[in-house]
Amino acid sequence: MKWASHFTLIENVVVQDKNLLFTIVSYSVATVMILNLNILESPLVGLIASAVYFAINAIFLGNAFFEKENTFFRSMLGILLLTMLLGFVGWLTLIIYNLDDTRVAIVLLVVATFSSLLNRETHRNGFQ
Query: Is residue 128 in a domain?
Result: no
Name the nearest CA neighbour of 115 among 37, 5, 27, 36.
Answer: 27
Checking if the pLDDT of 128 tops 70, the result is no
- Put simply, whether the predicted model's pTM sits higher than 0.75 gets the answer yes
* Number of structural domains found in the chain: 1
Give residue-wise pLDDT tens across range 2-32. Answer: 666 777 888 888 888 888 899 999 999 999 9
Name the nearest CA neighbour of 114 among 69, 56, 47, 34.
Answer: 56
As a whole number of angstroms, the distance between CA 26 and CA 70 comes to: 24
Residue-number span of the structural domain to which 104 is assigned:
2-123
pLDDT of the residue at 127: 53
| Residue 4, amino acid | A
Q: Which residues contact 24 (CB under 8 A, 6 or more apart)?
A: none
The alpha carbon dihedral of 115, 120, 125, 128 has a sign of positive
